[in-house]
Amino acid sequence: MKSLEILIERIILSSRWLLVAFYIGLVAALALYAFSFALKFIKVAQNVFSYDEADMILAMLGLIDAALVASLIVMVMISGYENFVSRFDNTNADVSFLGKLDAGSLKIKVASSIVAISSIHLLQIFLNANQYDNVKLMWYTLIHLTFVVSAVMLGFLERLMSKDKNGQGTKL
């Protein structure tokens, strides 16, 4: 009976390596997204003298948005692998640029990235507000505010949890 328990535990612990398929898929998605970014950049470069100021701002916001999405993919790949599969100890890789890599801080970083991406998208929408009716503008704003409130709540909960882990108790 004990050997069956050990076998089950080994299978469950080894199953984390299945996540590698997802991270490799994200690497491939990042490569495709980089190609898409290059095409967008070429389009902006070709039109740099024909775009008016508003179009140029929108084009730059699109490039910034793409960079934020790509950064989010990298953050999820590295943090997810480090947290759930294996440490990067054997590769001499320095992942300190991501800061603290536990699951709680990863959630906050992802939420913050989503808020930043949503902010860029909302700014693009507001710069083209004449193309949207008031109801759509309201919904875009409410969705963005939902992301903001969610990120703030995740940060608040993470702070409460970290205080509790340090033995300081929670103050509400």
pTM value is: 0.73
Report which residue type is found at 2: K
* Residue that is written with structure tokens 């103050």 in the block: 171
pLDDT at position 172 is 46
Phi-psi region of 21 (alpha: psi -120 to 50; beta: other; left: phi over 0): alpha
- 95 contacts 101 by C-beta, under 8 angstroms: yes
Q: How is residue 95 annotated by DSSP?
A: -
- As averages over each run of 10 residues, the pLDDT of the chain (172 residues) reads 89 92 96 97 95 90 93 88 77 62 74 90 88 92 94 86 63 48
**79 C-beta neighbours (distance < 10 Å), count:** 22
Q: How is residue 37 annotated by DSSP?
A: H
pLDDT at position 87 is 75
For the chain, domain boundaries: 19-165
* Residue that is written with structure tokens 């898409």 in the block: 36
**13 C-beta neighbours (distance < 10 Å), count:** 9
